[in-house]
Structure 1
Amino acid sequence: MQLFVRRVFVHTLLLGSLVSVLLPGGLGLSSAALATEPQRDLIAGLKPLATIASGRQDSFSLRGDVRVSIDGSQQPVEMQLNRYDAVSFDLQLSHPEYALTLRRRSDVTVLLLPKHKTAFVAKGDVPEADSLAPANLVGRMISSASELAPVTLGLTMLSNGNIDDTLKALASLAKLELTSESGEWKNGNTVLSFPQAGQVQIIADGTSVLLTAGDASGSAPDVLSLADYRVTELDRAELERTFVRGVRRATEILSPGKSLTDPVQRARKVENGALQWIDGHRVVTLWGTPEELGTAHGKLLPEESRRCIESVLYSFGTANVVRTGRWFRHDLQDAYARLSPHIPERHKQETDALARSLQLDPETVQVLNVFPELFHCSGFAVFGSATKDGRLYHGRVLDYMTTIGLQDAATTFVVQPKGYFAFANVGYAGFVGSVSGMNAEKISLGEMGGRGEGQWDGAPMATLMRRALEECDTLAEVQKLWTDSPRTCEYYYVFADGETNEAVGVAATPQSIEFIRSGQGHERLGDGIPDTVVLSAGSRLTELRKRVTDKHGQIDTELAQWLMSRPVAMSSNLHNVLFIPQDGLLYVANASHSKPAAEMPYVKIDLYGLLKQSGTSASESTAAR
């Protein structure tokens, strides 16, 4: 799944920003190479594609043959784009694992998935900002927060100026050198050439792109001849919005600009909430009623919430549609319909308030918040004889698709809901449930997913986690909550109590629940280790058990963090958390765009200190219980 999503993301980005290879900006010419004849050859070679990129040619064909290295292997992608007029085009994309055709006409847009024999037919009006209409489309698909943003400036220059003069101006900015023997233009590892008239080939860093421009052949074919396809009707605005925003978000994820890799760290306060930065880590404190929590959340994290939503619904959603042949939002809506009866009303009120604060329809935020149910990490608790000082250390490794860019929304929330226990929730903007958390009563929780997708008739995992943080002050209460609640899918957990120095592993399905005590052996987990609970799978479990056994009796904060390092954590490691519930401390590491969480520094978060700082104590939060 992770690999498939990454491949589709990379290929989507290649298509969405394909026009960037039409521009010599970033390649350019050195002053020594600006002899008249070579420069004319370069401009002549680029001009057919630059004319297309300028938007001045309503009718054309463009073929792309791409070879891109992903995870150590060469992946071939073939693309054919035929534009028939100012509003109509056909785009075909094929890869050994998938294929899609997108056909747009003045009154309808159709997405075909040949490998699934599925067609999505979309009609209706589309807001200009989310339209797939060709005019200025690349500008809508490339985010200003991406390193690709200068492409839009180059397109504007091509659109508004003389193409020859613009190409000359762009060429003069860079450092290509002509290799006379081969007729290639080079800059380091980048090679630009023109194999035939109307062709441009670029080879750089393991990627080869051959573009061939030509005339569109014939008139636009009928898009509704779908005899062999299973047809799903969609609102056209939804289909086109999914592609436009999905590609735009992919440009941020795969080619992030400085605003994402090094965001401005500015503290903010709103009613019932505050944002601060601790050693580069985003921390939000919220307090009050459900409506107040949701409203403050949206006001403090509007852009981060947008990125989280667009990562899930649009970028991942596009990849998932291609993978499954089903419309992703429909899957989420179906899941929410079955999960909703088991979600507390206060959580729904908070989600609706968050949606209003973000100026989104409530359904969008509701379905986002069941996303963790669709996907299915490692965890441990060590204490007593296993640790250097007898304290309980609870580690939680979340291996969860760094590919979709959730790290841009990573936030640790300190939440003080009126009438319930205060807690820390290591999560993501726009998401009100929990997958990793610790409350002020010294209870800590971490989840590990399993199988069972589609078994939605129960309480969402993230809802149960949040309820336990809000409602439980003993390990027995947490276990009772899970035992008595209808459950979904297959999940594994480590629950810990810093007050009593106890921990338990949990294996839960809709039909059964099993608690694994510290030191207890299990057929899936191996022999018991004294004062230890260890949950993982395969080679990661073997390595984690070895580390715990080798360091038994010596484990402290530093060693507990080391227990979660690679390869116990996977390359998809989104966040790691070390809870020390006795002291109200947690250490959090989030993935960056280039490194998994296990290779990033841990940031110390003091739950009790932050509660005191906000002026509302944990006891005040629970006064109304």
Structure 2
Amino acid sequence: MTILQSVRWPFAAAGLLFCLSLTMVPATSIAASPDSLTQRLDPLFAILSGRETQFSVSVEGQIPIDGKTQSIQLQLTRYNDQSFDLTAHHPEYAVSIRRRPDATALALPKHGVVYIGRGEVDADDHLVPKAIVSRLVGSGCKIAPYLAVVSNSDAKSTLSLLSNFIEIKQTDNSWTIGDDVRIDPIDNDLTALRITAGENQAMIRVEEPAEMLSVDAWPEMRAETIDRKQLELHLARGGRRAMEVLLPSRELTSPAEHPQNVDHGQLRYVDGQRLVVLSGTPEQIGRAHGQLLRDESQRCIDSVLYAFGTVQTVLTGRWFRDDLEKAYVRLKPHIPADHLTETRALAQSLGQDPEVLEALNVFPELFHCSGFALFDSATTDGKLYHGRVLDYMTTIGLQDCATTFVVSVDGKIPFANVGYAAFTGSVSGMNNQSISLGEMGGKGEGQWDGAPMATLMRRALEECSTLQQVEKLWTDSPRTCEYYYVFADGKTNEAVGVAATPESIEFIRPGEGHPLLGEGIADSLLLSAGGRLDTLRSRVQQNHGQFDAEKSMWLMSRPVAMSSNLHNVLFVPADGIFYVANADHKHPAAERPYVRFNLNELLTPAAANQPSTVAAP
């Protein structure tokens, strides 16, 4: 089960409460019935509109996750404008949030720990119950436009309005919506409903709140003190971002394009993809980055630090931000000063604390992927084609932040970096010296006494003009964790696979066999794992000598790319050409169009030629 999928259900259940008001039967057709849906929904509308200030709502559901139906339970109890309890239970984990006027607790029963914060909260991002819906559901969530209707209406008037758009039938005491949704009363209780939608089923019940317990009443659990402002900010921003990812609005699925120029930077849109061109000193580049990608950077921060961070805390029992900051302390001595300068300038441009951007930029220490290089006898024209598959957590919404950067730092080699807003390192890139790089994560998380992987990748792009220089950089640098890489040089048609840990480094040449990769294939270098590696090998063997750009993009299609496929890149470094496909909210990158970029043209300010779209193979 993927990390965010395993804890999506509390947000989905909360969203279900809101969505009830959007998919109901017309009030005019049921008003005469004593068991009308209007009566059934009145308690929920009283809650959603804020008319009811004390209540308890419980949701019990059966939801298929990764092909397996799983049970979930969620209960929200509000006591007053300052206090509430939220509990969530799943076979694999449990979480409780208890908020009182002067303190907030996050309890993780399966780990035996509760984090308690006291004092002030952030002015904008907090968990005060009053008007919390407007803070947890932003414009990036598709149900946001309906909240104003719900908050200023009751069930009868809302259903009457919706009757102009929705056709729903009543059969006895049940209601059906289209072919998939059914609403049933439970035991003639006006405060309880069962909702079935396809394989999803949920029972919703409204009750009187139980006795309010003290924020410190957690028997047999270890209490740890935490900054309350940070605790509520993480939960509020993480919850809001999770709602956007679960129920994205057109603002995210069909974002508006707003090209702009600032000093030392330009934002363009190429067939729906963001392209940012940056040049100047590290400080100038960082400032322009923030000016051009303010909203996208905030969503990246919210996805990584707050949504994913909250999930990781629930799963591990450790406060994620602490883990990340401890890692950064160990990694920082190995990060070049000019990279730190750029990151701090970016933070200042975004109005963020530098520590936020510093923590964000060591996050790729968790990535996992695939890659290949084909050339000479393996390709139709003898050119080197370097493919890079990034399989990583589309479930946290990083696709909303996807950006291709072309960066020219004063005194360094210009390069293209296929990445994400607010991220200054690299996981996929090519420079104008025909050097291309991609990585694949392994094991060893926590081995952080070295240069971050994404820092080494960027250093290679802006410092190295030959494959030998790249190899030397990796050999001479202190390294972190376990990573695998494919490095290529289009000038010489050379490529190398790298297996690197903090203690050792191994270079794998094209055509060489390896215990982890199988027998060698002539003029080919393939890195992946499991069934994906088997498919990759089979495809190359069956089509050896036939690979061009189009067929190389096909090589990265499913199942070589996973369902979590965030981006794919095909580099043709000899020509300075690269193709990028990014995931959207419904499709992995492998099922999306590729956009063609010419790095050499993009480095020429007066270049008139624009990249073009290539259909997904």
Q: TM-score interval w.r.t. the shorter chain?
A: over 0.9
Tell me if structure 2 keeps the 8 A contact 1:52–1:60: yes
2:495 to 498, 503, 507: 503
Tell me if structure 2 keeps the 8 A contact 1:12–1:250: no
* Residue type of the alignment partner of 2:431: N
Aligned-partner Cα distance in 2 for 1:149–1:414: 35
1:91 to 86, 91, 107: 86
Q: Secondary structure at the match of 1:109?
A: strand
Q: Secondary structure at the match of 2:507?
A: strand
Unpaired runs of at least 5, structure 2: 608-617
Q: Secondary structure at the match of 1:380?
A: strand
- Please identify, of 346-355 and 85-94, the stretch whose mean Cα deviation from structure 2 is larger: 85-94
Aligned-partner Cα distance in 2 for 1:614–1:254: 42
Aligned-partner Cα distance in 1 for 2:570–2:34: 59
How far is 1:21 from its partner?
A: 4.1
Give yes or no for the alignment of 1:204 onto 2:202.
no
2:277 to 259, 266, 285: 285
How far is 1:80 from its partner?
A: 1.9
In structure 2, the partner of 1:6 is 5
Aligned-partner Cα distance in 1 for 2:540–2:389: 15
Aligned-partner Cα distance in 2 for 1:142–1:355: 25
In structure 2, the partner of 1:582 is 574
Identity %, equivalent residues:
52
Tell me if structure 2 keeps the 8 A contact 1:277–1:283: yes
In structure 2, the partner of 1:305 is 297
Tell me if structure 2 keeps the 8 A contact 1:16–1:247: no
Q: Secondary structure at the match of 1:75?
A: strand
Q: Count matched residues.
A: 605
In structure 1, the partner of 2:591 is 599
Q: Secondary structure at the match of 1:3?
A: coil
* Residue type of the alignment partner of 1:337: V
How far is 1:5 from its partner?
A: 1.9
Residues 131 and 391 (structure 1), Cα distance of their counterparts in 2 relative to 1, 3 Å cut:
same
Q: Secondary structure at the match of 2:224?
A: strand
Residues 126 and 170 (structure 1), Cα distance of their counterparts in 2 relative to 1, 3 Å cut:
farther
1:172 to 163, 169, 176: 163
How far is 1:453 from its partner?
A: 0.2
In structure 2, the partner of 1:485 is 477
Tell me if structure 1 keeps the 8 A contact 2:25–2:177: no
Aligned-partner Cα distance in 2 for 1:86–1:579: 56
How far is 1:14 from its partner?
A: 1.9
Question: What pairs up with 1:378-397 in 2 under 5 angstroms?
Answer: 378-397=370-389
Aligned-partner Cα distance in 2 for 1:543–1:35: 57
* Residue type of the alignment partner of 2:25: G
Question: What pairs up with 1:186-585 in 2 under 5 angstroms?
Answer: 186-195=177-186, 196-218=189-211, 220-585=212-577
Aligned-partner Cα distance in 2 for 1:400–1:199: 40
Q: Secondary structure at the match of 1:154?
A: helix
How far is 1:173 from its partner?
A: 4.0
Aligned-partner Cα distance in 2 for 1:120–1:481: 42
* Residue type of the alignment partner of 2:403: T
Q: Secondary structure at the match of 2:451?
A: coil
1:190-221 Cα offsets, whole Å, 9 max, x none, are 11232222112221132222111111123x11
* Residue type of the alignment partner of 1:70: I
How far is 1:186 from its partner?
A: 3.4
Aligned-partner Cα distance in 1 for 2:155–2:439: 59
Tell me if structure 2 keeps the 8 A contact 1:126–1:240: yes
Give yes or no for the alignment of 1:65 onto 2:60.
yes
How far is 1:28 from its partner?
A: 3.5
Aligned-partner Cα distance in 2 for 1:587–1:368: 26
1:102-143 Cα offsets, whole Å, 9 max, x none, are 101010000110000011101121134212111111111112
Tell me if structure 1 keeps the 8 A contact 2:30–2:36: no
Query: So what's the TM-score if we normalise by structure 1?
Result: 0.94
In structure 2, the partner of 1:620 is none
Aligned-partner Cα distance in 1 for 2:96–2:223: 14
Question: What pairs up with 1:82-161 in 2 under 5 angstroms?
Answer: 82-158=77-153
Q: Secondary structure at the match of 2:381?
A: coil
1:27 to 24, 27, 31: 24
* Residue type of the alignment partner of 2:445: E
1:333-392 Cα offsets, whole Å, 9 max, x none, are 001000000000000000000001101110001100000113441111111111111100
Aligned-partner Cα distance in 2 for 1:600–1:38: 50
Query: So what's the TM-score if we normalise by structure 2?
Result: 0.95
* Residue type of the alignment partner of 1:242: H
Aligned-partner Cα distance in 2 for 1:572–1:463: 24
How far is 1:262 from its partner?
A: 1.2
* Residue type of the alignment partner of 2:516: R
Aligned-partner Cα distance in 2 for 1:549–1:484: 35
Tell me if structure 1 keeps the 8 A contact 2:173–2:185: no
Aligned-partner Cα distance in 2 for 1:147–1:393: 40
Tell me if structure 2 keeps the 8 A contact 1:410–1:428: yes
* Residue type of the alignment partner of 1:363: E
Tell me if structure 1 keeps the 8 A contact 2:312–2:320: yes
Residues 61 and 369 (structure 1), Cα distance of their counterparts in 2 relative to 1, 3 Å cut:
same
1:6-27 Cα offsets, whole Å, 9 max, x none, are 121x21322442431452x333
In structure 2, the partner of 1:618 is none
2:37 to 30, 36, 42: 42
How far is 1:533 from its partner?
A: 0.9
1:151-209 Cα offsets, whole Å, 9 max, x none, are 42233213xxxx36534544534435343334334333211232222112221132222
Q: Secondary structure at the match of 2:4?
A: helix
Tell me if structure 1 keeps the 8 A contact 2:13–2:59: no
How far is 1:402 from its partner?
A: 0.8
1:457-486 Cα offsets, whole Å, 9 max, x none, are 000000000000000000000000000000
1:538-595 Cα offsets, whole Å, 9 max, x none, are 1111111111111111111111111111111111111110000000000011111111
- Please identify, of 543-552 and 447-456, the stretch whose mean Cα deviation from structure 2 is larger: 543-552
Aligned-partner Cα distance in 2 for 1:68–1:176: 26
- Please identify, of 109-118 and 62-71, the stretch whose mean Cα deviation from structure 2 is larger: 62-71
1:203-241 Cα offsets, whole Å, 9 max, x none, are 1132222111111123x1122134522222111111111
In structure 2, the partner of 1:80 is 75
* Residue type of the alignment partner of 1:211: I
Q: Secondary structure at the match of 1:76?
A: strand
How far is 1:285 from its partner?
A: 0.3
Residues 18 and 135 (structure 1), Cα distance of their counterparts in 2 relative to 1, 3 Å cut:
farther
How far is 1:518 from its partner?
A: 1.1
Unpaired runs of at least 5, structure 1: 616-625
Tell me if structure 2 keeps the 8 A contact 1:388–1:554: yes
How far is 1:34 from its partner?
A: 2.1
* Residue type of the alignment partner of 2:47: I
Residues 183 and 552 (structure 1), Cα distance of their counterparts in 2 relative to 1, 3 Å cut:
closer
Q: Secondary structure at the match of 2:77?
A: strand
Aligned-partner Cα distance in 1 for 2:426–2:155: 56
* Residue type of the alignment partner of 2:175: E
What is the CA RMSD across the aligned residues, in angstroms?
A: 1.7
In structure 2, the partner of 1:619 is none
Q: Secondary structure at the match of 1:613?
A: coil
Tell me if structure 2 keeps the 8 A contact 1:179–1:186: no
